[in-house]
């Protein structure tokens, strides 16, 4: 199976704000879609995160993208919408000590995100598909496929409106 993993365009959000599940619009979506259409094989099915910044892009790549909740970004719980520097240091330190397993208060862990995306991929029947999603989702999927330890997950970076191709052997 070949997956074209697309990170959404840059969201309209204040710098330094923690966002994951915040449903934000994105900037320059039409230009990103035009560029990405030229990179993608024609006629592929498209799946999208339910968040607006992904749905808008997916809708410009395909007339009827399929929305799947498992493609949503990490839920940062009580941290959502707060400036990073307003989050208690003890909580940030706990997250840094266990990047994969720590869940912000009321949120979910990166391991939970990884389990969601692995569940989605296991259920996917298409031989090739476009997935419009978030950096955290792409990061945890690639980490699983490459067998990266959690301490190295943050090394995986994906620019806004970028495409990462992943081949998965079944």
CATH number, domain with residue 102: 3.40.50.1240
β-strand pairing of 66-67 with 46-48: parallel
Q: For the chain, give the secondary structure using H, E and C.
A: CEEEEEECCCECCCCCECCCCCCCCECCHHHHHHHHHHHCCCCCCEEECCCHHHHHHHHHHCCCCEECHHHCCCCCHHHCCCEHHHCCHHHHHHHHHCCCCCCCCCCCCHHHHHHHHHHHHHHCCCCEEEEEECHHHHHHHHHHHHCCCHHHHHHCCCCCCCEEEEECCC
pLDDT > 80? residue 30: yes
Contact indicator for 158, 25 with CB cutoff of 8 Å:
no
pTM: 0.95
pLDDT value at residue 150: 86
Per the rule left: phi > 0, alpha: psi between -120 and 50, beta: everything else, 107 is beta
Structural domain total, the chain: 1
pLDDT value at residue 152: 86
State the residue range of the domain holding 157: 2-167
pLDDT 10s digits, 13-26: 999 999 999 999 99
pLDDT 10s digits, 57-112: 999 999 999 999 999 999 999 999 999 999 999 999 999 999 999 999 999 999 99
Contact indicator for 40, 65 with CB cutoff of 8 Å:
no
């Amino acid at each position: 199976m070949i997956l074209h993993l697309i990170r959404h365009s840059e969201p309209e959000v204040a710098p330094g704000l923690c966002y994951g599940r915040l449903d934000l619009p994105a900037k320059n979506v039409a230009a990103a879609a035009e560029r990405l259409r030229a990179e993608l094989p024609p006629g592929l099915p498209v799946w999208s995160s339910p968040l607006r910044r992904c749905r808008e892009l997916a809708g410009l790549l395909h007339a009827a993208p399929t929305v799947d909740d498992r493609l949503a970004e990490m839920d940062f719980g009580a941290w959502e919408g707060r400036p990073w520097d307003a989050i208690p240091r003890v909580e940030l330190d706990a997250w840094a000590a266990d990047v994969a397993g720590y869940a912000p208060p009321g949120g979910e862990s990166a391991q939970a995100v990884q389990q969601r995306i692995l569940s989605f991929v296991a259920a996917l029947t298409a031989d090739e598909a476009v997935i419009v999603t978030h950096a955290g989702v792409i990061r945890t999927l690639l980490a699983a496929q490459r067998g990266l330890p959690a301490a190295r997950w943050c090394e995986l970076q994906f620019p806004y409106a970028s495409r990462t191709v992943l081949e998965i052997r079944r």
